[in-house]
Structure 1
Amino acid sequence: MKLSLKAFPLAALACGLFLTSTGCGDETLPPETPTGPADVASLELPGTNYYPESLTSSADGTLYVGSLATGAVVKFAPRSTSPVDFIPAGTLKGVAGVLADDSTQTLYLCSVDLTSQTPSTVQSFELGTGAHKATYEFPTRAFCNDFAFDGQHNLYVADTYGSVFRLAHGTTTLRQWARDPLLAPSSQRGVGADGIAWDGQGNLYVGMFTDSRLVRIPINADGSAGTVTQLDVPGLTNPDGMRSLDANTLLAVESGGQLIKITVSGTTGTRVVLEDGLEEPTSVTVYKDQYWISEGQLSHLLNPASGPPTTPFKLQRALAP
């Protein structure tokens, strides 16, 4: 695996910086304030069946990671390498997309059931305490996959079956916002709308996992969905989690083991591999110059005949070029 590392500079603390009238020889220096994720190449997840599907980061650099297999969410506090239970295993059937909202101190997550016995829902929890806040039900059959906010703080939800749902800011009802054949998989057992990202201006980008496609959906002035357009991105292969870097640049993972950057121009996109050799990555989150990637290894969960996964499950770090 090729993952770039860069150590954080150690603070050069001179006695004179803390000089007082009594001298500094016996002074106790103030403790270091945590400022983001740990300075390590990887972070280990608990257990032998965590199977992370998505992760997100809050403004202080805390990482939240959901488990598709156990329904748990763990968090890594800033500068910590130890996962802490945020939502205990068994609380939910499984967790797909997760997204931290600092403005309301809320973690949104996709509660899913791989057996399809329980409908998907959107759940929200207090970032600080993990206390449950609300449940949002889908008006139609859906498989909740991932989230994105727009500039008006409307929440968009990618539905694997071929839709994007919207939770308008200040409301409590999920509504189908866009439904189009371009958002659906080409086969009954395929995965359609997966990763989703807002470009910071007026568009949403959605990746189709099974069919290796990327589409763009304009957000009209009245908030409705514009025409869904497929982009030509040569080489794109099974895109999963996705984040926007700027109006024309997307960061995404491909299940084959790549972290990629997609630069969009008109109806085409240029794909550049930033990191390779990852273990079936499922999602990526951005904190300052760090990219944290979840290695889901979901093929071993969905197809037990493929053998056991590599454990412990890990998050891998890469640095912005």
Structure 2
Amino acid sequence: MPRVPRPAVVAAAALALGTLAIAPATGDGPAVTDPRVVTHFDLTRGQSPENIALAPDGSADLTLSNARQVVNVTRQGRTRLIATLPEVANPHTPVVGAAVVLGIARAQDGTLFVTYATGTAETGVWRIPARGGKPRQIAQLPPAGFPNGLALDERRGVLYAADSVLGTVWRVPRAGGAPTAWATGAALEPRNPRPAAKVGANGLRFHRGAVWVSNTNAGTLLRIPVREDGSAGAIGTRATGLYAIDDFGFVDRHRDTALAALTGGSEVELVRPDGTHRVVLTPGDGLSNATSVAVRGRTAYVTSAAYFTRRDPNLLLARVHQRDRD
């Protein structure tokens, strides 16, 4: 989530104290070692890296929320601008007030999709052509909402977007068109009474036939099965006590073990299928309000947006050693 006004920082701290205690970890799990920051960004230019989509060559496409940009970063740290979302006059974005680009998903053909929250008619899902080009809005979402995490189901040809304010998972045709409120309910809704800190459904991944969603205020990781007809099954809570969780990524495509970015504490936690979790990366490793995680092979990619620390937004890489026997 992007930077919020100073009173909301206090609210976020209160939220952190109010979340459930971290559950003890049981059994072995993948080890995360050798963290290194490969790219540093510039807060004065709005470069807060928010979300990650991995390219086949091992580079990472990142959204820079306040800069309204999408960039590509190689494993060696070289950065290239892909696109800039259009400036919006008089944005009225919930939570943050400014126009921000948030979630990102990458199709197999290289097309990128992002969520853009503006508080205006430009709020929604935008498409960026493969190899870059002019972004184009393909679906409008409610201006009163805050579209955040985004994932693509290639087989069904649909996108899923988490709305942090309206407590909704939207479903949008990949080709564009009218969105559908695919999943709603108390488990997706924000819990904080302060408008500037109301962040419910946030991170989102499509994994093993289900849509997985984090709820930042609740500190939970949720799983919503996709039924054969494409409708949403019952929302299940898979983990609790994840202090100010933002986005997350799965360690591999065959298991439900995840790495979750905890933005409030600048940590990454390993979340096991039984819901237990433990810290594997900390501020000492270079994290500064971690926002998202993506994993490919033995490499974990972690973005830090520095929304509250105001120090060193960056992209960090670490090694993942597969020891999980689940």
What aligned pairs does 1:296-315 form with structure 2 within 5 A after superposition?
A: 296-299=305-308, 309-311=310-312, 313-315=313-315
SS of 1:310's equivalent? coil
| 130, 155, 172: which one aligns with 2:159 | 155
Give the aligned partner of residue 206 of structure 1: 213
For residues 239-278 of structure 1, what are the alpha-carbon distances to aligned partners after superposition, in whole Å with 9 as ceiling and x for unaligned? 111123333222211111211221224xxx1213221222
SS of 2:222's equivalent? strand
Provide the rounded CA distance (Å) in 2 between the counterparts of 1:135 and 1:285. 25
| 124, 129, 133: which one aligns with 1:121 | 124
Provide the rounded CA distance (Å) in 2 between the counterparts of 1:239 and 1:289. 23
Name the Cα RMSD after superposition: 2.5
**2:246 aligned with 1:274:** no
| 38, 44, 54: which one aligns with 2:40 | 44
Provide the rounded CA distance (Å) in 1 between the counterparts of 2:238 and 2:301. 26
Moved more, 44-53 or 57-66: 44-53
CA contact (8 A) 1:112 1:118 kept: no
| 87, 94, 104: which one aligns with 1:98 | 104
What aligned pairs does 1:123-142 form with structure 2 within 5 A after superposition?
A: 123-138=126-141, 141-142=144-145
For residues 121-140 of structure 1, what are the alpha-carbon distances to aligned partners after superposition, in whole Å with 9 as ceiling and x for unaligned? 11010131333344311267
Give the aligned partner of residue 32 of structure 1: none
For residues 61-120 of structure 1, what are the alpha-carbon distances to aligned partners after superposition, in whole Å with 9 as ceiling and x for unaligned? 2222212212122222x45423222124764632111122123x211111113xx35652
After the TM superposition, which parts of structure 1 deviate over 6 Å for at least 4 consecutive aligned residues? Answer: none
Moved more, 134-143 or 170-179: 134-143
Give the aligned partner of residue 34 of structure 2: 5
CA contact (8 A) 2:120 2:143 kept: no
Q: Structure 2 length normalisation: TM-score?
A: 0.74
Give the aligned partner of residue 33 of structure 1: none
Structure 2, unpaired ranges of 5+: 1-31, 89-98, 322-326
For residues 10-61 of structure 1, what are the alpha-carbon distances to aligned partners after superposition, in whole Å with 9 as ceiling and x for unaligned? xxxxxxxxxxxxxxxxxxxxxxxxxxxxxx6421224533122212211122
Provide the rounded CA distance (Å) in 2 between the counterparts of 1:68 and 1:133. 17
Give the aligned partner of residue 30 of structure 1: none
Give the aligned partner of residue 319 of structure 2: 319
Provide the rounded CA distance (Å) in 2 between the counterparts of 1:223 and 1:43. 39
SS of 2:101's equivalent? strand
Cα distance, 1:283 vs. partner? 0.9
Structure 1, unpaired ranges of 5+: 7-39, 301-308
| 295, 298, 310: which one aligns with 1:289 | 298
CA contact (8 A) 1:139 1:174 kept: no
**2:81 aligned with 1:85:** yes
With CA pairs under 8 Å and 6+ residues apart, which has the higher RCO, 1 or 2?
A: 2
The alpha-carbon distance between structure 1 residues 208 and 196, as it changes in their structure 2 partners (threshold 3 A), is same
The alpha-carbon distance between structure 1 residues 96 and 171, as it changes in their structure 2 partners (threshold 3 A), is closer
CA contact (8 A) 1:72 1:91 kept: no
Q: Structure 1 length normalisation: TM-score?
A: 0.75
For residues 196-217 of structure 1, what are the alpha-carbon distances to aligned partners after superposition, in whole Å with 9 as ceiling and x for unaligned? 12222x3222110122122221
User: Which of the two has higher C-alpha Rg?
Assistant: 1
Give the aligned partner of residue 64 of structure 2: 67
CA contact (8 A) 1:242 1:253 kept: yes
The alpha-carbon distance between structure 1 residues 174 and 117, as it changes in their structure 2 partners (threshold 3 A), is closer
SS of 2:311's equivalent? coil
